[in-house]
Amino acid sequence: MATELSPALREQIENTIRGLTIDAVAAAGIGHLGAAMGLARPVFQLWDRHLRFDPQDPDWPLRDRFVLSGGHASMLLYSLLHLFGFELPLEEIKNFRKLGSMTPGHPEYGDTPGVEVTTGPLGQGLANAVGMAIAGRATRSRYGVGDEGPGQHVVVAVAGDGDMMEGISYEASSLAGHLGLGNLIVLYDDNQVTIDGPTDISFSENVRGRFEAQEWHVQEIDGEDVDAFDVAFAAARAEAGRPSLLITRTVIGHGSPNWAGLSKAHGGPFKDGEDRLTKENLGIPLEPTFHVAPEVRTYMDERGKAKTQARRKADVAFEAWRGSHPERFAAWKAARERSLPEDFEARLLEGFEGETNATRVHSGAVIQRLFEAAPIWLGGSADLAGSNNTTIKDAGFVGQGEDPFAGANLHYGVREHAMGAITNGIALDGTFLPFSGTFLVFSDYMRPSLRLAALMGIPSTFVFTHDSIFVGEDGPTHQPVEHVDALRLIPGLTVFRPADGIEVAMAWAYRARNATGPVALALSRQKVAALKREAPFEPRDVWKGGYIVREPEAGLDVILVASGSEVALASEAASMLGTEGIRARVVSIPSAELFAAQDDAYQDSVVPDGVPVVAVEAGTGEGLRRWVGRRGLVHGMKSFGKSASYQALEEHFGFTAPKLVEAVRQHLNR
Amino acid sequence: MATELSPALREQIENTIRGLTIDAVAAAGIGHLGAAMGLARPVFQLWDRHLRFDPQDPDWPLRDRFVLSGGHASMLLYSLLHLFGFELPLEEIKNFRKLGSMTPGHPEYGDTPGVEVTTGPLGQGLANAVGMAIAGRATRSRYGVGDEGPGQHVVVAVAGDGDMMEGISYEASSLAGHLGLGNLIVLYDDNQVTIDGPTDISFSENVRGRFEAQEWHVQEIDGEDVDAFDVAFAAARAEAGRPSLLITRTVIGHGSPNWAGLSKAHGGPFKDGEDRLTKENLGIPLEPTFHVAPEVRTYMDERGKAKTQARRKADVAFEAWRGSHPERFAAWKAARERSLPEDFEARLLEGFEGETNATRVHSGAVIQRLFEAAPIWLGGSADLAGSNNTTIKDAGFVGQGEDPFAGANLHYGVREHAMGAITNGIALDGTFLPFSGTFLVFSDYMRPSLRLAALMGIPSTFVFTHDSIFVGEDGPTHQPVEHVDALRLIPGLTVFRPADGIEVAMAWAYRARNATGPVALALSRQKVAALKREAPFEPRDVWKGGYIVREPEAGLDVILVASGSEVALASEAASMLGTEGIRARVVSIPSAELFAAQDDAYQDSVVPDGVPVVAVEAGTGEGLRRWVGRRGLVHGMKSFGKSASYQALEEHFGFTAPKLVEAVRQHLNR
Residues of A in contact with B167 (CB under 8 A): 166-171, 415, 417-418
Instruction: Return phi, psi of residue A2, to 5°.
Output: -70, 145
Helix (H, G, I), strand (E, B) or coil at A382: coil
Write b or e for each residue in B128-157: b if 16 or more Cβ atoms lie within 10 A of its Cβ, otherwise e: bbbbbbbbbbbbbbbbbbeebbbbbbbbbb
Q: Nearest 5°: CA angle at A449, between B523 and A143?
A: 165
Confirm if B609 and B626 have CB atoms less than 8 A apart: no
Helix (H, G, I), strand (E, B) or coil at A66: strand
Nearest C-alpha neighbor of A163 from the set A119, A111, A225? A119
| pLDDT score of A146 more than 70 | no
What pLDDT, on a 0 to 100 scale, did the predictor assign at position A1?
58
User: For B106-144, what is the HEC assignment?
Assistant: CCCCCCCCCCCCCCCCCCHHHHHHHHHHHHHHHHHHHHH
B473, B526, B614, B622, best to mutate vs chain A, most A CBs in 10 Å: B473
Is A505 within 8 Å of A539 (Cβ atoms)?
Answer: yes
**The one catalytic residue among B92, B416, B566, B650:** B416
Query: Are the beta carbons of B625 and A622 separated by less than 8 Å?
Result: yes
pLDDT at res. B534: 79
Q: Say how many C-beta atoms besides its own lie within 10 A of residue B212's C-beta.
A: 19
CA distance B103 to chain A (A): 9
Contacts of residue A638 in chain B, CB cutoff 8 Å? Answer: 491
pLDDT (0 to 100) of residue B146: 61
On whether any CB of chain B is under 8 Å from the CB of A213, the answer is yes
φ/ψ of residue A111, rounded to 5 = -85, -25
- Report how far residue B636's alpha carbon sits from residue B234's, in angstroms, rounded to the nearest whole number: 59
Judged by DSSP in three states, B63 sits in coil
pLDDT of residue B430: 96
Please judge whether B482 and A472 are an interchain contact, meaning their C-beta atoms are less than 8 angstroms apart. Answer: no
Residue B193's pLDDT band, with cuts at 50, 70 and 90, is: confident
| Residue A586 β-bridge partners | A550, A560
* DSSP string for residues in B500-517: SHHHHHHHHHHHHH--SS
pLDDT confidence tier of residue B194, bands split at 50, 70 and 90: confident
Section B336-349 average pLDDT:
94
What's the rounded Cα separation, in Å, for the pair B489 and A519? 21
Q: Which domains does chain B have, with CATH numbers?
A: 7-310 (3.40.50.970), 344-528 (3.40.50.970), 539-668 (3.40.50.920)
Cβ distance of A178 and B204 shorter than 8 Å: yes
Q: Complex ipTM, two decimals?
A: 0.97
Which tens digits make up the pLDDT trace of B301-314?
999 999 999 999 99
Q: What is the mean pLDDT of chain A?
A: 96
Is residue B475 within 8 A of residue A74, CB to CB? The reply is no
Q: What is the DSSP letter of B232?
A: H
The span from the CA of A525 to the CA of A646, in Å, is 10
Q: What confidence tens digit (pLDDT) does each residue in B237-294 have?
A: 999 999 999 999 999 999 999 999 999 999 889 999 999 999 999 999 999 999 999 9
Question: Contact, A481 vs B493, CB < 8 A?
Answer: no
pLDDT tops 80 at residue A442: yes
Instruction: Provide, as residue numbers in chain B, all residues whose Cβ is less than 8 Å from the Cβ of A490.
Output: 482
Chosen for mutation from A130, A473, A652 (greatest number of chain B CBs closer than 10 Å) is A473
Mean local confidence (pLDDT), A395-404: 94
Q: What is the pLDDT of residue B1?
A: 58
pLDDT tens figures, B491-500 = 999 999 999 9
Nearest to residue B544, comparing CAs of B494, B495, B506, B598?
B598
Query: What is the distance between the alpha carbons of residues A221 and A227, in angstroms, rounded to a whole number?
Result: 10
Average pLDDT over chain B reads 96
**pLDDT per residue over B129-165, tens digit each?**
999 999 999 999 999 876 678 999 999 999 999 999 9
Both ends of chain A: CA-CA distance in Å? 91
Distance of CA A643 to the CA centre of its chain: 33
Give the pLDDT band (50/70/90) at residue B176. very high
Residue A340 is which amino acid? L
- pLDDT tier, A268 (very low <50, low <70, confident <90, very high otherwise): confident
CA distance B386 to chain A (A): 7
DSSP per position, A233-291: HHHHHH--SS-EEEEEE--TTTT-TTTTTSGGGSSB---TTHHHHHHHHHT--SSSSS-
Nearest chain A CA: its distance from B474 CA (Å)? 5
Burial of A37 per CB tally in 10 Å (0-12, 13-18, 19+):
buried
Q: Residue A416 catalytic? A: yes
Q: What is the pLDDT of residue B268?
A: 81
Burial class (CB in 10 A: 0-12, 13-18, 19+), A581: exposed
Let me know how long chain A is.
670
Nearest C-alpha in A relative to B388:
A196
Q: Which residues of A, range 219-248, sit inside 8 Å of B by Cβ?
A: none
CB atoms within 10 A of CB B381: 28
Q: Which of B519, B380, B521, B522 lies closest to B454 in space, CA to CA?
A: B519
The pLDDT value recorded for residue A629 is: 84
Q: Whose CA is closest to A524, among A584, A582, A467, A441? A: A467
| B residues 486..545 contacting A (CB < 8 A) | 486, 489-492
Helix locations, A430-529, DSSP H: 447-456, 483-488, 501-513
∠ CA B321-B326-B330 to the nearest 5 degrees? 110
CA–CA distance, A436 with A473 (Å, rounded to integer) = 24
Q: Does A635 touch chain B (CB under 8 A)?
A: no
* Minimal C-alpha gap between A24 and chain B (Å): 12
A622 touches chain B (CB under 8 A): yes
**Which one of A416, A503, A617, A622 is the catalytic residue?**
A416
Distance from C-alpha of A566 to C-alpha of A507, rounded to nearest angstrom: 17
Q: Min CA distance, A9 vs chain B (Å)?
A: 33
Which of B447, B492, B649 is closest, CB to CB, to A447?
A: B447
Q: Touching check for B171 and chain A: CB below 8 Å?
A: yes
- Cα(A107)–Cα(A91) distance, integer angstroms: 17
Cα–chain-centroid distance for residue A293?
39
% chain A with pLDDT above 90: 94
Q: Positive or negative CA dihedral for B216, B219, B223, B228?
A: negative
Interface of A with B in 538-577 (CB under 8 A): none
Query: Quick one: which of B457, B466, B449 has its CA closest to B492?
Result: B457
- Band the pLDDT of B631: cuts 50, 70, 90: confident
- Identify all chain B residues contacting A169, using CB atoms and an 8 Å cutoff: 167
Between strands B193-194 and B197-198, the pairing is antiparallel
**What does the pLDDT read at residue A534?**
79
Assess whether pLDDT exceeds 80 at residue A311. yes
Q: Do B131 and B379 touch, CB atoms closer than 8 A? A: no
